[in-house]
Structure 1
Amino acid sequence: MTMVDSLFGLIPAASTGQQWVALDLQLVNWGGYDGHHRVRLASTATLLSGGSGSGKSTLMDAYIALLMPHTTPFNGASNGGVVGRPRGKDQRNILSYARGKLDESRTEEGTRQRVLRGDGKDTWSAIAMTWADQSGTRFTAVRGWYVPSSARTLEDVTAVRATCETAFDLRDLEPAAAQRLARSAVAAAGLTCFDTDREFTARLHSTLGIGAAGDGGKAVALLGRIQAGQQITTVDALYKAMVLEEPDTFATADAVVEQFDKLTGTREQMITARQQVKALEPIREHRAAIEEAAARLRVVDAVGGFDDGTSPAALWRHERRLGLLRDVETDLQGRHREAQRLAAETSARIAAARTELDGVKQTLWASGGDRLATAQRELRGVGTRLDEVTRARARLEEVLTSTLGTSVTTLEEFTDLVARARHALADSDAKAGARQALFDAMSERKEASADLAVLRRDHDDARHRHDNIPGDLHATRAALAQAAGLAPEDLPFVAELVEVRTEHEPWRDAFNLALGGFATLLLIDIAHLQAFRRAIDTVRTGRRIRFEGVPTDLRDDVGMDGRTLPGRLDYRQSPFTGWLKGELASRFAYVCVDTPGELAQHEKALTRGGQVSEGRRGAHGGQGARNVLGFTNTRRLSDLERQVEVAEARLASAEARVEEAEAAWDRHDATLRAYTAVVELTWDQVDVAGVEAERDRWQFVVDEVTSGNPDVVRLQQRAVELEVLIQDLTEQLGRTKGAAGDLGERWSATTDAVDVAQGALDAAHDAGTQLDPEQRAYLEHVLGGGAADQPSGGAADQPGADARTDPSAALDAFDAVVSRAADLLRADRQAAQQTVATAREALRRTFETFVERWPDPNLGTDPDASYADYDRILTELQAQGLHELEAEWRKSLLRLSGNDLADLHSALSRSVREIKERIRPVNDILADLPFADDDHRLRIDARDTQSTVVARFRKELRELREVLSTEATDAERERRYHRMAKVIDRIRRTSPDFADLVDVRRHVRLSAEKVDLDGNHVALYDHIGEKSGGESQELVAFIVGAALRYQLGDAGAERPRYAPVFLDEALIKADARFTGRAIGAWRGLGFQLIIGAPNDKFSALEPHVDLKYVVLKDATGRSRTKPVAGVAQDAGTTRDGRGGTGRSGV
């Protein structure tokens, strides 16, 4: 592209389009710039350099305050780490700039700001910038603020947004400032005011040509990001941070979430409605129970009591009882006549049977019937005796066989057995011997069991210890130690501190005898002795124990002679070991000798048998005593195990002896019982053969009589039958006559009762008593039904008679119920009252639960007063609420699936495509700009990132959209809802997956590559940090500048319509050559640069700019600009004729 130098700097030669460049920037009371200041700007490049804090960024922020929305933070280049809301109280803001905040100080009233102006009085501030195009047209934008002394937030400030179609001097606003920047005063100064930021920025964008197709917001946002110039490490991050704004997928995802939340709200309403219906459904049942119980109470009160003869209850009783009495009267009358008839018939049958019996007996006696009768009688008696003798003989045989192993068949054998039995029963010595044998065996078992228990206890105790001290000594020591507040380990026995060496094991018994009681001496630190004595004085123990206070931690360097007792011991390390060795060496230095003859050769000597010699004295005996020496007890455990085995064998033998003795005792006892049974019998009682012979004799007589005259048997049987019949009929006749008499008496009494009941009923009617149907039905229900079901009683008691078939039983049942009528009515009253109370309480709980779950100040909880409200709610919910809510939920679900999810899926694909499409015009711009040299160009490349998370998410979107388009049951819809909820939760702004899934900028990886004129790849530019400072500045300039051309809407034009680009602390990382290349890139794209840089970067930037300023700050905190080159000396003259070297800056 051929560039020409013009009034506006280097521009494309073929360009004829309009371009706006900034002519100057004016400030009034802005930050450190106190009063009016004007900074003229070159149409090519202007440099503002100065020290840190001098006010460079303040000038840059003035441009931001004028042109950009309130969401753009101030001082973005210098304070990338600030927090809080942009332009909030924690950052630079309009108020702090208007008052010229210097710093803060802590006072008694709190934190106080130190400011250049506006401290306790009103002040005002204003910013203006004038632009010009090639035709000389001027356009000025102004922002002003009147700040009262009481202002704390921007809402307390009067703001001015205005434009002017020509140049404007901010000093002309001073009269308007005196009027608090009233709109009329501002308009009088020649400015056109705007009410809102939206109108103001729309005017700027349309006039200055900012943004394509009227969308200037994106272009201005990019200008702000360029001005902030934050450090970015990769081309991908650079392009996404500087060029790409928030994609449409954010808004689409938010819309999907919002729609789903509406769906969720509908679902919650539906669930709530269902829960409310479920909660209120029982109230109608409770209400019905209350009304029914209340009606019963009214009836109970109305019927009165049965004691009042004129009450409705008494009238009902009289009516019912009179009807029942008449039924009984009729029944008794019929039953009396039937009884009389049956009695006459039975008397006739008895007389006929007696006549026939007399004839049969006469015939029978004439045919030998008396002998037959005698034989049959005797035969029956013999049969009975035979059964008894047989049973007795069987019992005897069982006893003899099982116990004595014998049997008897003759009188002589039985007599001999009885004699032996009496002799055995008289022998008391045999019984005493068996008893004594059992006692001796049980005593031995008890003793063996006790010994075994002791040995096992000793063995268990030994397994948990490592010494050979007896258990009673251990217990005594533990008691004393506890009383003294010491541990048992602090009080060792001497025997616990020594062990016989393995090679001298045969001397163990001798050493035990020689040491004697010294081995069980309890040792205590002498420092604790007095306290120990005081503590144990009141302790009572069964075993006496000796103790001694000894010094501890003595040196363990006592020499031991291997021939003596102390030299043949091992010692456990303890605080007492030094003392113990010395004590043993001085008191028990016995020389171990093999024979008694050697005892006299030594002052102290000891034999293996345990004899000790001390000159003319000595000691011997006591062998077999228990070993107590050693801090290991392996030997004792082995001894105890052998003793336990012997004791177990002894116990097993004792158990066997007890079993044998018990068996012998049982056998002896059984024999005595058998002999006792024998001596109590006689032979006649068990002689089965004798009784059978007698039976046979009488049977022979019967056979003899019956064989000679067969009619005798028949006559005899007939006589028996007639006698039985006469007896039965006689008994029946007695019962029938008694029943007839009883029925007659009851009939007469019932007739009298009918008369009495009729009189009572007539008296009730005469008294005017009435019984309405409701009362009658109630009494029938409570009392009448119960009477019919009562069992019969009294005179009506007959087999199978009951109240349903027997009038007498029905009357008795009714009288029984009436006798309990008061209790029944009282119980029914109480039941009704309880029903009312229970139902009311249930209603109260239901109402309370309802308003607790769904608060409503218009709903009460009284069961009576509030029932209508809850019934109305239930009616409305049942009539239309649930159905409408469910239909709305289904409709929303389908709408979400058909529209929103589809939109989100499409937006994801479309946004990725738009990112790639937006790179194309940027590349078209870059294609005309030499990069590095005239033979190369820069090109931006976009590649899709391969993310399995995003792929699975988009697949889930497609599947869910397809599933939701089909019909489903309620259960399936519920499952679909929860599945969809999981998807929606992932695209919420608060979700950790939100950025990865919704921010499509992450779905594309951007890089830059250096290509030749034919488009062939030369080099890849991905990580900016890998390049030098100059190369990275040039790369950023090319990429961001081309993108800015696109955002400004000038991608197809020869130069941008809006030229100013502010770079705060940019182009400061390279030498003059590379800085020039970066500035050349910006200017080659047709932009006007205003660069802020620190003083140390002035030399690198100075050759490439046409206008230079130094920003200075004096001791009072006031800033000003001083021109270095490019501005005439009178360029900064103010309107009142004063030079520009003072507060106005230039």
Structure 2
Amino acid sequence: MSIDQHVLLDGSDDQFRLTRIQTFNWGTFSNVFDFPIPKEGYLFVGPSGSGKSTVLDAHAALLTPPKWLDFNVAAREADRHGRDRSAMTYIRGAWAQQTGDGGEYVSQYLRGGTTWSAIAETYRDAQGRVVVLAQVLWVKGNTTASSDAKRLYLTLEREFEIQELEFFAKNEFDTRRFKHDLLDAKVYTEFSAYQERFRRLLDIDNERALRLLHKTQSAKNLGDLNVFLRDFMLDEPETFAIATSLINEFGELNEAHQEVVAARNQIQMLKPAREEHMELERGNNDRNGLQAIQTAIDQYREHRRKVLVDERIAELEVDEEASRQEVQRLSQIADDESVKLTDLQRQKLKIGADVLVRLEESIKAAEADKLVRMNKRDQAAVACKVMGWAMPDSVVWFVQRVEAAKQRVLRAHDLTKEVEDRKDQLKADHRQASEEFTTAVAEVKALERQRSNLPARLVDLRERMARDLSIPEAKLPFAGELVEVRSDSTEWRGAIERVLGGFARSILVDEKLYPAVSAYLNERNIGERLVYFRTVQQTSGRTPGPNSLVRKLNFAQGSFGEWVREELKHSYDLECTDTLHAFRNAPRAVTQEGLVKHNTVRHEKNDRHSVNDRSQWVLGFDNKDKLTLYRNKAAELGGRIAELRMALDKIGDEEVLQQQQLLHCQNLSNLTWNDVDVGALLARIDDLTTRLNAERDARPDLAILDDRIKTQEDVHSKAVGKKNDEDVKGRSIKSDIEKLNVKLAELARLWPASDRPPAFAAQIEARYAATGKQVTVDNLDQVNGQVDRGLSNELRAIESRLGDLRNAIVQRFVEFNRLWPSVAGGLDATLASADDYLAKLKRLEDDNLPAFEDRFFGLLREQSDQNLTLLATKLDEERSAIRSRMELVNESLETAPFNPGTHLVIETTDKSLEDVRLFRASLRESLSHSFSNDRDLAEERFKTLAALVKRLASQETVDRNWRNLVLDVRQHVEFVARELDEDDVEVEVYRSGAGKSGGQRQKLAATCLAAALRYQLGGQDRALPSYSTVVLDEAFDKADAEFTAMAMNIFKTFGFQMIVATPLKSVMTLEPFIGGACFVHIKDRKKSAVIPIEYDGESNRLKLTQDVRNAEETAVS
């Protein structure tokens, strides 16, 4: 060895070694136990379960920070996660678990109620300095919750007896008493302050050494170098904490991103609403403008009418004056021609033409009478034709036709009444058929919609009620839908329908829906009579007879069907009787004809509808028969309606004919034969014409004069005609002027403001012009109507668009409220709230979204620059730290011979792991463009970061394994131990013990553990560690003697005081390395006891007494 053990011990004056362990009511060690510990080391010997680990856990509780403290780990090697011991179990003295009354596991305790415990260790160095570490623990009441265990931490720099703490319990655990009863003790409520104190006293440089000591206490399998160095020498890298911080802080970043996404989505939702609202306002303005124009259009029309009338009057007044002057001129011409005609007529009278004049006048009179008679004859002919008579050609026949016409006039009222009566009846029939047709069609549609036989109005009522209550219609069945008449009892169908018709139209409501249905019906006027039953399940207890109505029915499956069955057994158990004799004798009965006997007193026959009227039937599981019935009925009624329509059209024609006949008969009854006798008048005209021709032949000179008179008459007639035409024209113009003036007066009365143009005159004028028509008085109303219709069409189009806009806006508000109710803040999704919604949009655009984006991108940069950068950096730093730590361990290893003339050096090599490579690449990608202001790139970085965080936070086994691999830098390296000689020449290489014997592997790991402890506790400046106590809990229970001796010798070489718990079988190997021991055994499985074992310093052996052997044999048995 390069360092002699005796030299080490001689240089150990400043080493603190454990000299005493004290416990009070600690676990199964009741009352005070005092273990004196020699400076050379100590053995706790005893069987499993005796309490050895309990004592060592007291040591762990005094030195190990709570975050790492794990009791009884050595006994739980196969189960690193289940913790069966705690401060509470040690205070209470838990010793077993038993099955409780309820089958649960119940812990058994030595100490109930309020109790307390204490533990203490005394350390001393060769210079006489003393350091005492102590804890006092207590619990009040009967609680067994770990969180209810209280404790104080103490340090003293003098010898200490654990009984000195009795004052604390006697004063009901008043911590203030320490200032009076234990003045020199430093008392702490937190382990952190306590450990700062004792580490300074014991010269332990860092907290990591405490963790390594605690891990060493439970170390057993030291065969794998890599596992040992990772688990014992190297702490968990900070990468896990950084990743946890990244995950935790990502919640804030993700929340910020969600705020950005939400704000963007909210803007996306409300922005179209703003555009639509602007369009809505423009549309409202356009509509209001058009409405204002439309309101003024009539005023404009009348103003325009007055202007046109004034213009027309002015024109007509000019025309009237021109016509008056023209009449004067033409009157003079006509007078002149009249004088000429008079002169010619005088000349004719002078030559005896008076006889000719009389004959000519008689012929003219007869010709005029002929026209009158021919007109009346035509009337008589038409009347006879309408009546279907031949035109009479004699006075007798004519008189008969006139009398028949008078009789027809007298009978006109009766004939008209008879036709009207027939017409009224046809109308009534048509109306009834139409109503029945509508009802039949509605029933067909209802029957097609579902399988129920119930009337459409009741089915619609149920559908409406189910929809309003948001429940399935099947939850509200009608009783009739749950019952059908059996196929072997169809002859009783009509009677059964008659009895159950009212009950079948009732709705069944179960107990759960009863409150909602009752409230619904109470709050509404349903417009129908509705009966509903609250279906409380009950059993009638009655058994229907063989002829009972109930026996002739099938019932639907389910609770409703069962309820109906019981209700019918209770209320409708009527006997179906074939004879009146049986009917009279039965207490309750019904006949096939529908006569019902409710009880011995009350009977009923309801023939408002035939008992076999299938349209009134409502029972049945399906409605195929009723649907066919109503389809046929609808087709039949359709044909009947068509026939009635034709009959009404025919009777209309008959009415027209009657009116025509009445009119013609009235005309005919007012005529005489003389009124229509044209033949006699034609004979008289022929006679007068013959006489006239004879007189003319007797006076040949008159022919020339007649020609001149005739010519003059034509000239005079034309002159008078022109004058009369012009006169008529003038009077017509005057009449038109008068009419226009009347119109102006009426216009002034009805439209007082018509003398001035109304508002919007220019716009209306433009619309008039747009028609392309020249506006006049005559077409003014037509043009105005065209413009008005155009305005109405525009308004309808605008109103339609405004309606669409309103609906779209409100729908966006509704969706906004649904997606973001908290942001909506209780706003109603109505147009009235539009300003509030748009104000929210403006805040989102101007304030919220920019703020959210700034916060998000700021957090993204912060997390990228800090956590991700820190994580990436820490991965590299942890690798470097591992190498640095191994260098320090190597410095310790140089001082400890591994084999004669050799020592160990641990080299660290990187492992090629694909998952690690991809993870680091992902980190680089997440950090890429971290200094760029491009927000699109930032969004991509966030997606990458989110995916990374999601996997880091995942609890899936695969992802957790991946997380442990990529973050645990200890797994990224492999440790190789090289054995070097004094000239640093390599002797052998150890790769995780591969290919080496078990002893070699354990020796390698033990050497490294001792060197690690030496490094952690001794640093670089001390030859030996200041704190030298190392505790091992059954570390060598499975090891052979050679390895045990080798490992203990290594620890001694590094200057450690070894405290070991071991079974009795391993004592011989450990004896040379300790200075004392005790045997721990347990009585009744719940009371630990100790037998001190004397140690022979000369032989370095324990003196095992018979008491110890007996106790061992008792434990084994």
Shorter-chain TM-score tier: 0.5 to 0.7
Residue matched to 1:974: 939
Residue matched to 1:1112: 1081
Question: Are 1:904 and 2:871 counterparts?
Answer: yes
What percentage of residue pairs aligned between the two structures are identical?
Answer: 26
**Further displaced range: 71-80 or 276-285:** 276-285
> How many angstroms apart in 2 are the aligned matches of 1:745 and 1:225?
136
Residue matched to 1:854: 820
**What letter is aligned with 2:828?**
T
Q: How does 1:24-173 map to 2 (within 5 A)?
A: 24-71=20-67, 72-82=69-79, 87=83, 91-109=84-102, 111=104, 113-119=106-112, 121-173=113-165
Q: How does 1:448-463 map to 2 (within 5 A)?
A: none
The verdict on how the C-alpha distance between 1:809 and 1:1119 changes in structure 2, with shifts beyond 3 A counting, is: farther
Q: Residue 896 of structure 2: SS of its match in structure 1? A: coil
The verdict on how the C-alpha distance between 1:83 and 1:300 changes in structure 2, with shifts beyond 3 A counting, is: farther
2:1035 to 1060, 1066, 1072: 1066
Are 1:318 and 1:757, in contact at CA under 8 Å, matched by a contact in 2?
A: no
> How many angstroms apart in 2 are the aligned matches of 1:1060 and 1:253?
36
TM superposition shift of 1:1098: 2.2
TM superposition shift of 1:815: 3.8
> How many angstroms apart in 2 are the aligned matches of 1:20 and 1:747?
145
Question: Are 1:763 and 2:749 counterparts?
Answer: yes
> How many angstroms apart in 1 are the aligned matches of 2:226 and 2:1012?
13
TM-score, length of structure 1 as denominator length: 0.54
Are 2:224 and 2:1001, in contact at CA under 8 Å, matched by a contact in 1?
A: no
> How many angstroms apart in 1 are the aligned matches of 2:945 and 2:836?
38
Residue matched to 1:177: 169
> How many angstroms apart in 2 are the aligned matches of 1:770 and 1:227?
117
Residue matched to 2:972: 1003
> How many angstroms apart in 2 are the aligned matches of 1:866 and 1:1059?
79
Q: Residue 105 of structure 1: SS of its match in structure 2? A: strand
TM superposition shift of 1:785: 6.2
> How many angstroms apart in 2 are the aligned matches of 1:243 and 1:745?
135
Q: How does 1:856-935 map to 2 (within 5 A)?
A: 856=822, 858-864=825-831, 866-932=833-899, 934-935=900-901
> How many angstroms apart in 1 are the aligned matches of 2:728 and 2:1063?
139
The verdict on how the C-alpha distance between 1:296 and 1:97 changes in structure 2, with shifts beyond 3 A counting, is: same
Are 2:5 and 2:1053, in contact at CA under 8 Å, matched by a contact in 1?
A: no
Question: Are 1:1050 and 2:1019 counterparts?
Answer: yes
Aligned residues: 688
Are 1:132 and 1:138, in contact at CA under 8 Å, matched by a contact in 2?
A: yes
Q: Residue 173 of structure 1: SS of its match in structure 2? A: helix
> How many angstroms apart in 1 are the aligned matches of 2:1047 and 2:735?
138
Are 2:893 and 2:905, in contact at CA under 8 Å, matched by a contact in 1?
A: yes
TM superposition shift of 1:1102: 2.6
Q: Residue 1121 of structure 1: SS of its match in structure 2? A: strand
Are 1:22 and 1:130, in contact at CA under 8 Å, matched by a contact in 2?
A: yes
Are 1:158 and 1:181, in contact at CA under 8 Å, matched by a contact in 2?
A: no
Per-residue Cα deviation, 1:784-819 (whole angstroms, up to 9, x for no partner): 7655444xxxxxxxxxxx32x565797254343378
> How many angstroms apart in 1 are the aligned matches of 2:218 and 2:309?
116
**Further displaced range: 828-837 or 840-849:** 828-837
The verdict on how the C-alpha distance between 1:319 and 1:172 changes in structure 2, with shifts beyond 3 A counting, is: same
Are 1:102 and 1:116, in contact at CA under 8 Å, matched by a contact in 2?
A: yes
Residue matched to 2:713: none
Q: Residue 167 of structure 1: SS of its match in structure 2? A: coil
> How many angstroms apart in 2 are the aligned matches of 1:1013 and 1:250?
41
Residue matched to 1:945: 911
TM superposition shift of 1:916: 0.5
Residue matched to 1:435: none
Are 1:1070 and 1:1100, in contact at CA under 8 Å, matched by a contact in 2?
A: no
Are 2:222 and 2:1001, in contact at CA under 8 Å, matched by a contact in 1?
A: no
Are 1:927 and 1:937, in contact at CA under 8 Å, matched by a contact in 2?
A: yes
TM superposition shift of 1:832: 7.2
Q: How does 1:271-350 map to 2 (within 5 A)?
A: 271-288=261-278, 314-323=298-307
Q: How does 1:544-943 map to 2 (within 5 A)?
A: 755=741, 758-764=744-750, 766=752, 776-777=759-760, 787-790=768-771, 802-803=772-773, 807=776, 811=780, 813-817=782-786, 838-856=804-822, 858-864=825-831, 866-932=833-899, 934-943=900-909
Are 2:893 and 2:1011, in contact at CA under 8 Å, matched by a contact in 1?
A: yes
> How many angstroms apart in 2 are the aligned matches of 1:1126 and 1:335?
160
**What letter is aligned with 1:912?**
R
Per-residue Cα deviation, 1:475-499 (whole angstroms, up to 9, x for no partner): xxxxxxxxxxxxxxxxxxxxxxxxx
Q: Residue 155 of structure 2: SS of its match in structure 1? A: strand
2:201 to 197, 207, 214: 207
Q: Residue 246 of structure 1: SS of its match in structure 2? A: coil
> How many angstroms apart in 1 are the aligned matches of 2:1067 and 2:728?
145
The verdict on how the C-alpha distance between 1:237 and 1:1024 changes in structure 2, with shifts beyond 3 A counting, is: same
The verdict on how the C-alpha distance between 1:84 and 1:152 changes in structure 2, with shifts beyond 3 A counting, is: farther
> How many angstroms apart in 1 are the aligned matches of 2:61 and 2:1000?
32
The verdict on how the C-alpha distance between 1:780 and 1:146 changes in structure 2, with shifts beyond 3 A counting, is: farther
> How many angstroms apart in 1 are the aligned matches of 2:982 and 2:997?
24
Per-residue Cα deviation, 1:806-837 (whole angstroms, up to 9, x for no partner): 6579725434337869xx76x78877776666
Per-residue Cα deviation, 1:299-340 (whole angstroms, up to 9, x for no partner): 8999998xxxxxx66434422443465678899999999xxx
Residue matched to 2:375: none
**What letter is aligned with 1:923?**
N
TM superposition shift of 1:942: 1.0
**What letter is aligned with 1:117?**
L
> How many angstroms apart in 1 are the aligned matches of 2:736 and 2:199?
121
Per-residue Cα deviation, 1:891-927 (whole angstroms, up to 9, x for no partner): 4445555555443333222221111111111111111
> How many angstroms apart in 1 are the aligned matches of 2:136 and 2:278?
76
**What letter is aligned with 1:141?**
L
> How many angstroms apart in 1 are the aligned matches of 2:730 and 2:254?
88
> How many angstroms apart in 1 are the aligned matches of 2:81 and 2:730?
115
Are 2:73 and 2:80, in contact at CA under 8 Å, matched by a contact in 1?
A: no
TM superposition shift of 1:135: 1.6
Per-residue Cα deviation, 1:25-76 (whole angstroms, up to 9, x for no partner): 1111111111111112222221112111111111121112222122322111
**Any gaps of 5 or more consecutive residues in structure 2?**
322-725, 1098-1109, 1112-1117
The verdict on how the C-alpha distance between 1:40 and 1:1127 changes in structure 2, with shifts beyond 3 A counting, is: farther
TM-score, length of structure 2 as denominator length: 0.55
**What letter is aligned with 1:82?**
D
Are 2:3 and 2:896, in contact at CA under 8 Å, matched by a contact in 1?
A: no
TM superposition shift of 1:183: 0.5
TM superposition shift of 1:99: 1.1
Question: Are 1:247 and 2:237 counterparts?
Answer: yes
Q: Residue 152 of structure 1: SS of its match in structure 2? A: coil
The verdict on how the C-alpha distance between 1:224 and 1:905 changes in structure 2, with shifts beyond 3 A counting, is: same
The verdict on how the C-alpha distance between 1:3 and 1:84 changes in structure 2, with shifts beyond 3 A counting, is: closer
**Any gaps of 5 or more consecutive residues in structure 1?**
306-311, 338-739, 791-801, 1129-1140
TM superposition shift of 1:1063: 0.6
Per-residue Cα deviation, 1:850-908 (whole angstroms, up to 9, x for no partner): 23222317332242554343222112112233334334444444555555544333322
Residue matched to 2:1053: 1084
TM superposition shift of 1:957: 4.1
**What letter is aligned with 1:137?**
R
Q: Residue 1086 of structure 2: SS of its match in structure 1? A: coil
The verdict on how the C-alpha distance between 1:293 and 1:1086 changes in structure 2, with shifts beyond 3 A counting, is: same
Per-residue Cα deviation, 1:694-745 (whole angstroms, up to 9, x for no partner): xxxxxxxxxxxxxxxxxxxxxxxxxxxxxxxxxxxxxxxxxxxxxx999999
Residue matched to 1:407: none
> How many angstroms apart in 2 are the aligned matches of 1:237 and 1:99?
37
